[in-house]
Amino acid sequence: MSVFGKIFGGGKKQAAAPTPVEAIQKLRETEEMLIKKQDFLEKKIEQEISSARKHGTKNKRLALHALKRKKQYEKQLNQIDGTLSTIEFQREALENASTNSEVLSVMGSAAKALKAAHNHMDVDQVHDLMDDIAEQQEVANEIAEAISNPTGFGQDVDEDELLAELEQLEQEELDEKLLDVGPIPAATAKLPDVPSALPEKAKSKKQEDDDLAELEAWANA
């Protein structure tokens, strides 16, 4: 090692930087130590004030010394307050940085996992797969429709012919019912329609007799 290296400590290895967690822990310990020192200084200030009051009228020299010490303690107390503010700021900054680092680490891992998942997929293959699914769905619909239509029954049959046959069956059934009933009595037989109304002017006796005879003949028909 050269002389300059020995003098300026060039041969010493630099200490590794502490992790954020370690630094935060050190700052917390320092905060606790300074807060304890604050309590100690506040008590000393109270003691010096009490001493100054005690010697104020009897021994001014001791009273002044007590006030001077109080001023020194107050100065140290103010310095500690400033130091605590700086430490608190550093601790909060480290905590935020640690949180951000953890969040970024998680997001980085998630991004890698997502990329790895997408590496197994190809956009063109996905589109082809969806087209195949749509095509197979269409085929399935055609098959279902074909299955639902009856085959080999009622094919090539003339509907008019079926209607004529139905009318014939109905007529036969009606004829059978009429045969079962028998001949219709003359009293209940359906009579021909009554002739239209006679003219308004009075008819002759002979015309009335002729009409009556015709009516009787029509009734006995």
Query: Where along the chain do its domains lie?
Result: 18-120
Question: What's the CA angle centered on 132, arms 128 and 133, to 5 degrees?
Answer: 120
Instruction: Please report how many Cα atoms fall inside a 13 Å half-sphere around the Cα of residue 221, on the Cβ side.
Output: 10
Structure tokens at 64: 């002044």
Q: Give CA torsion, residues 151, 153, 158, 162, to 10 deg.
A: -150
Question: What does the pLDDT average to over 122-131?
Answer: 83
The CATH class, in words, for 18-120 is: mainly alpha
pLDDT band at 7 (very low <50, low <70, confident <90, very high): very low
**Per-residue pLDDT for 3 more than 50?**
no
Note the pLDDT of residue 4: 40
Q: Is the pLDDT of residue 31 over 60?
A: yes
pLDDT average, residue stretch 104-110: 89
The whole model's pTM is what? 0.44
pLDDT tens, residue by residue, 136-189? 998 888 888 888 776 655 556 677 787 888 788 888 888 887 887 655 555 454
Name the residue among 37, 73, 78, 81 with its Cα closest to residue 52: 73
Report the alpha-carbon distance of residue 77 to residue 204 in Å, rounded: 155
Distance in angstroms (rounded) separating the CA atoms of residues 96 and 116? 30
pLDDT at 8: 46
* Cβ contact 21:98 at 8 Å: yes
**Amino acid of residue 216:** E
Q: What single-letter DSSP state applies at residue 58?
A: T
Q: Which has more pLDDT, 33 or 115?
A: 33
Determine the pLDDT at residue 214: 73
Which has more pLDDT, 220 or 137? 137
Instruction: Give the 3-state secondary structure of residue 12.
Output: coil
Give the pLDDT confidence score for residue 181 in this predicted structure.
64
Is the Cβ–Cβ distance between 73 and 41 less than 8 Å? yes
pLDDT tens-digit map of 70-85: 999 999 999 999 999 9
